[in-house]
Chain A
Amino acid sequence: MPEYPLAERQPDRLRTPSGLPFGEITLEAALEGRLTMDDLRVTAEALELQAEIARSAGRRQLAENLERAAELTRVPEQRILEIYQALRPGRSTREELNRLAAELEQRYRAPRTARLVREAAELAPEQRDA
């Protein structure tokens, strides 16, 4: 079971997306250009650990959210914003959302998020409004 807070209790289990150990996120590293904004981002691994912590505290839905988040670490920002737009009311047909789900699954290894998008697709219209 991961020990919470990870940053204080298990920093050795944490790395930045570029592989920098947690302890090396320092002002010096920032000043010397060894740190980019992309380093200051949670990783899929850390999110899975947080999901485990949430689930063991009885918070199933929060855990599922964090697991979807772990998947979305692999999706670029622009694509995330586009998917969000596509999910808003009246933006997409059922088929478009199902295609999006397939993309999430295949391209980003994001089956849990894909499931959420497929659920949304059930309610989407077959055809776009004229």
Chain B
Amino acid sequence: MHSKRSQARARRPVHNDTFIEEWPEAGLVLFNSPYDPPAGLRIEGGRIVELDGKPEACFDMLDRFIARHAIDCEVAPQAMALDPTAVARMLTDINVPRAELIRLAGGMTPARLMQVVSRLSVVEMMLALAKMRARRTPANQAHVTNRKESPALLAADAAEAAERGFAELETTVGVSRYAPLNALAVLVGSQTGRGAALTQCAVEEALGLRLALLGLTTYAETLSVYGTESAFRDGDDTPWSKAFLASAYASRGIKVRFTSGTGSEALMGHADGRSMIYLEARCLMVVKGAGSQGVQNGSISCVALPESLPGGVRAILAENLLAALLDLEVASGNDAMASHSEIRKTAKLMLQFLPGTDFIFSGYSLMPRQDNLFGGGNFDAEDLDDYNVLQRDMQVDGGLRPVREEELLSVRRRAAQALQAVFEELGLPPIRDEEVEAAVFAHSSDDMPDRDVVADLAAAEAFLRQGRNGLDVIRALARRGYRDIAEKILGVQKLRVSGDYLQTSAMLLPGPHVVSAINDPNDYCGPGTGYRLTPERRREIAALPEAADPRTLGRSATGRSLLRPAGTAARSLDPQEIVIAVGPAFGAALQATLLGLSHRDVLQELENGIRQEGMRPRIIKIHHTSDCGFIGHAGAQLSGSGVAVGIQSKGTTVIHRRDLAPLDNLELFPQAPNLTLDCYRVIGRNAAKYAKGQPVLPVPVRIDNMARLKYIVQTTILHRRETEQVDKNRPPEEMLLEVADA
């Protein structure tokens, strides 16, 4: 038997998530598995002979690689002698600089690194991450893919992503043979508007390298590593083959980061009973030992697995922190679907968003999730406005900038047209005008016309076979009048010659200007240091397209007063009379209530209600106060019956009587947005009934708890306008309602 409340809760999306207890034997534990080895290191003659309890003779290939390449034997004796809690405290101590922690971490073993981060709460980890990330300025990466592999849509989305400030764009393919065309589309889009984004196409290693060599991509990310030997072998690599591949990419001036993440070993059935974070520490030491400048981690595609366990979200933050502690660039996940619950997804995001990482997402789905071919879309196209609001709320740089729709449409169109021209110049299957047009306005690839898939695939294969490359694209663009895009693509390609973006945490700013941990090192050491929003960036984040200028809100359109003054109001002796006392701006500086009801209609309904009860309305304007209670009270003093309706310009209303204290009342209607014209008529009737001494049923008013949320800004502004009209020394004034314009 369930209560109706628990049934309501059971319908919430979080109940579609899976939650399990720990099971160390299966590797379903985050920290401190009983099967994790003890932390320890023995060095003899400058050679590591024992690593985390294992003698050299028993080393597996990861131990071997880590011992040879990832541990600084000079620092190790000092680093390993430190108590892990003491190191954890140094991480949160603003007086211990990042460099000192990087130095010490360089001498630690995987088991010790796990112990250190396990001592921290999430808040402490966030502080540590803000201090330890390599690049001072945080940034973001986008996913740009679509199910139909529509090139025009890819180009338009890539252009939008770059315009929104994404520093990296990652595409992939549904069908791998599409890869060169997808890479080409994203390349052209990436440099169309603001430009300067680096691009990649996630495909099988050999093809990925090929695309990069042809100048169709500028970085690679999917060099996956695993924390156990058997998982590594299942990934068809060894630490040495990965290290070689990293050097191979660098030899052509291509940026590379590796990929790892908690849960992959358990998922592959090869966790060997070890905890996820211990295995991730091993992964990260392989990454470091291989000489990669950075890593994409944060569980990535396995994210729902650690999140099913107690502390999973915290552990994912811990792995990001571990990577930063090893001086690696961190692209911190937040890509794959992590939860059905919006609350849970957002809460998790805050752990990377608030401290900032080199790339907060890896990546953010620029398209709706059904078009995300990475199995991603945890945050997608529909969440972008929310994301911009979060940046503005927290005054946090999440790497994005709000952009007005007309600018987005314009850059989307230009990208699709430029790609259309390139396709034509290079003899690829034509992109029709209707595709360009659809790409400008599409939400998803459902909005795109179908293409001839067979022809596209044949063309893609020929493109690779003929060795068409980035320069062909640049020339095609220039020939067709897209010189600016050609220049920008060349500008990025040119940086291959300098190798500048091979340094840790490199990204490009328009220029292109390389920013990395070398020329923008994170120097956080407490308040007033590290990354801070510049005034310019603060303005950019604040400038949501929907943000209004409050000075223009609530201004009366005509400015012509609805009410004609008819002399100073005196106290009447007419017992049939009900005064309608209006605020100082009523019908003049302001002419509608919060709900948008015109003051004329409101007055007429009040009058109708009063007349229906056989009483006579009399309108008086109160100039000396803008307070609703005092307006009603002042009206009641002048009313022949002693009863008055007091109304502010925003619509807040009170029924008052002469003998009551100013802030007392017969009935008060404090929530103007809930008052309809019907309500005002009943208010008029009730006021009349009070005057006649008849029994009165309170006016039925709708209860809407969202009203305050929705209207508080307008309330504030309208009330300010009313208050501006207050003239303390001006007596109440008789008013006549002007005849409405024909």
What is the CB-to-nearest-CB distance from B304 to chain A, in angstroms, rounded to a whole number? 29
Q: What per-residue 1/0 map shows which CB atoms of B228-266 lie under 8 Å from chain A?
A: 000011001110110111111111110000000000000
Whole-angstrom distance between the Cβ of A75 and the nearest chain B Cβ: 7
Interface pair B503/A53, CB less than 8 Å apart: yes
Please encode chain B, from 470 to 513, with 1 for each CB lying within 8 Å of some chain A CB and 0 for all others: 11001100110001001100100111111110111000000001
Q: Does B213 have its Cβ within 8 Å of any Cβ on chain A?
A: yes
Query: In the complex, are the beta carbons of A40 and B470 less than 8 A apart?
Result: yes
From B235, which residue of chain A is reached at the shortest CB distance? A89
Are B291 and A62 interface neighbours, CB within 8 A?
yes
Question: Do most interface residues of chain A lie in helix, strand or loop, or is the interface mixed?
Answer: helix
A92 to chain B, nearest CB (A): 10
Binary flags per residue of A20-57, CB closer than 8 Å to B gives 1, else 0 = 00100111001100011101111100110110011001
Q: Is the CB of A6 within 8 A of B503?
A: no
Contact of B291 among A39, A66, A84, A119 (CB under 8 A): A66
Q: Is the CB of B471 within 8 A of A7?
A: no
- Most chain-B Cβ atoms within 10 A of its Cβ — which of A4, A7, A27, A46? A7
A36 is contacted by which of B205, B213, B471, B486 (Cβ under 8 Å)?
Answer: B471
Check B517 for interface membership: any CB of A closer than 8 A.
Answer: yes
Q: Do A119 and B68 touch across chains, with their CB atoms under 8 A apart? A: yes
B291 near A123: Cβ-Cβ < 8 Å: no
Cβ contact within 8 Å between A27 and B478: yes
B209–A81 contact, CB under 8 A?
Answer: yes
Asked if B312 is an interface residue, CB under 8 A from chain A, the answer is no
A6 partner, pick from B238, B493, B499, beta carbons under 8 A: B499
A42 touches B499 (CB 8 A): yes
- Which of A11, A40, A41 is packed against the most chain B CB atoms within 10 Å? A40
B171 sits at the interface (CB 8 A): no
Q: Across the interface, which residues of B come within 8 angstroms of A35, CB to CB? A: 471
Complex interface: chain B residues within 8 A of A40 (CB): 215, 253, 470-471, 493-494, 496-497
Q: In the complex, which residue of chain A has the Cβ closest to the Cβ of B500?
A: A5
A27-B487, A65-B290, A83-B244 are contacts. A89–B237 as well, Cβ < 8 Å? Answer: yes
B503-536 interface bits toward A, Cβ cutoff 8 Å, 1 = contact, 0 = none: 1100000000110111101000000000000000
Cβ-based interface call for A87 (8 A): yes
Contact B470 A87 (CB under 8 A): no
Known pairs A30-B475, A69-B247, A116-B244; A41 contacts B238 (CB<8 A)? no
Output the least CB separation between A59 and chain B (Å).
Answer: 6
Q: Does B384 contact A (CB under 8 A)?
A: no
Q: Give the size category of B's interface with A.
A: 35 or more
Query: Is A119 a contact partner of B497 (Cβ separation < 8 A)?
Result: no
Among A53, A113, A120, which residue has its beta carbon within 8 angstroms of that of B247?
A113
Is there an interface contact between B252 and A41, defined as CB atoms closer than 8 Å? yes
A5 to B509, CA, bound (A): 13
Kindly report which residue of chain A lies nearest to residue B469, judged by CB atoms: A37
Give A68 Cβ to nearest chain B Cβ, in Å: 4
Query: Which of chain B's residues have a CB closer than 8 A to the CB of A47?
Result: 250-251, 499, 502
A5 lies within 8 A of B247 (CB): no
Closest chain B CB from A115 CB (angstroms): 10
Least CB distance from A67 to B in Å reads: 9
A57 & B497 in contact (Cβ 8 Å cutoff)? no
CB of A14 within 8 A of CB of B486, answer no
- Report whether B474 and A27 are in contact in the complex, using a CB–CB cutoff of 8 Å: yes
Decide: B469 and A66 in contact? CB cutoff 8 A.
no
Residues of B within 8 A of A81 (CB): 206, 209
B274 within 8 A of A: no
B518-A65 in contact (CB<8A): no
Q: By CB atoms of chain A within 10 A, which of B246, B497, B513, B518 has the most?
A: B497
Q: Does B241 lie within 8 Å of A120, measured CB to CB? A: yes
**Contacting pair A72 B496 (CB below 8 A):** no
A64: chain B residues within 8 A (beta carbon): 291
* Neighbouring B residues of A36 by C-beta, 8 Å: 471
Question: A119 — which chain B residues lie within 8 A by C-beta?
Answer: 68, 240
Whether a CB of chain B sits under 8 angstroms from the CB of A8 is: yes
A79 to B584 Cα, complex, angstroms: 86
CB distance A89 to B500 under 8 Å? no
Measured in the bound complex, the distance between the Cα atoms of B241 and A119 in whole Å is: 11
CA–CA, A53 and B500, complex, Å: 10
Q: For A27, what are the chain B residues with a Cβ–Cβ distance below 8 Å?
A: 474, 478, 483, 486-487, 490
Q: Which residues of B contact A37 (CB under 8 A)?
A: 214-215, 469-471
Cβ-based interface call for B99 (8 A): yes
Residues of A with C-beta under 8 A to B518: 4-5, 53, 57
In the complex, whether B103 has a CB less than 8 A from a CB of chain A is: yes
Q: Does A77 contact B (CB under 8 A)?
A: yes
Which chain B residue has the least Cβ–Cβ distance from A42?
B253
Smallest distance from the beta carbon of A29 to chain B beta carbons, Å?
9
Contact of B240 (CB < 8 Å), options: A6, A8, A39, A120: A120
Assuming the contacts A22-B497, A84-B244, asked whether A5 and B514 have C-beta atoms less than 8 A apart, the reply is yes
> B280 on the interface (CB 8 Å rule)?
no
B contact residues around A84 at 8 Å (CB): 205-206, 241, 244-245, 248
Judged by a CB distance under 8 angstroms, whether B64 is at the interface is: yes
Question: Is A106 close to B, CB under 8 A?
Answer: no
Contact B500 A6 (CB under 8 A): yes
Cα separation A35 to B493 with both chains bound (whole Å): 12
The docked-state distance in angstroms from the alpha carbon of A39 to that of B236 is 33
Q: Does B70 contact A (CB under 8 A)?
A: yes
User: Does B292 sit at the interface, judged by CB under 8 A?
Assistant: yes
B486 near A46: Cβ-Cβ < 8 Å: no
Check if B471 sits within 8 Å of A30, measured CB to CB: yes
**Contact across chains for B238 and A120 when beta carbons are under 8 A apart:** yes
Question: Which residues from chain A contact B493 at a C-beta distance below 8 Å?
Answer: 40
* B88-109 interface with A by 8 A CB criterion: 99, 102-103
With known contacts A69-B251, A72-B248, A120-B240, A61–B291 Cβ distance under 8 A: yes
**Inside 8 A of B213's CB, which chain A residues have their CB?**
77
Residues 689-724 of B contacting A (Cβ, < 8 Å) = none
C-alpha spacing A59/B64, complex, angstroms: 20
Say yes or no: A7-B70 contact (C-beta < 8 A), given A42-B253, A84-B248, A120-B240. Answer: no
Task: Decide if A89 touches B291 in the complex (CB within 8 Å).
Answer: no
Contact with B along A83-109 (1 / 0, CB 8 A): 111011100000000000000000000
Query: How many angstroms between the C-alpha atoms of A65 and B240 in the bound complex?
Result: 12
Task: State the Cβ distance, A127 to closest chain B Cβ, in Å.
Answer: 18
Which A residues lie within 8 Å of B502 (CB)?
42, 47, 50, 66, 69
B61 touches A (CB below 8 Å)? yes
Contacts of B494 in A (CB 8 A): 7, 22, 25, 40
CB proximity of B496 to chain A, nearest CB, Å: 5
Which A residue's beta carbon lies closest to that of B492? A40
Q: Does the CB pair A4–B503 fall under 8 Å?
A: yes
Across-interface contacts of A117 in B (CB, < 8 A):
240, 244
Q: List 6 A-B contacts (CB under 8 A).
A: A15-B497, A47-B250, A57-B518, A62-B293, A68-B243, A123-B238
3 A-B pairs with least C-beta separation: A65-B291, A42-B253, A69-B250
Chain A residues at the B interface, C-beta cutoff of 8 Å: 4-8, 11, 14-16, 22, 25-27, 30-31, 35-37, 39-43, 46-47, 49-50, 53-54, 57-66, 68-73, 75, 77, 80-81, 83-85, 87-89, 113, 116-117, 119-120, 123
A-B contacts besides A27-B487, A62-B503, 19 pairs, CB < 8 Å: A14-B498, A16-B497, A27-B486, A27-B490, A30-B490, A35-B471, A46-B499, A61-B69, A62-B291, A65-B246, A73-B251, A80-B248, A84-B241, A84-B245, A89-B238, A113-B247, A116-B243, A117-B240, A120-B240
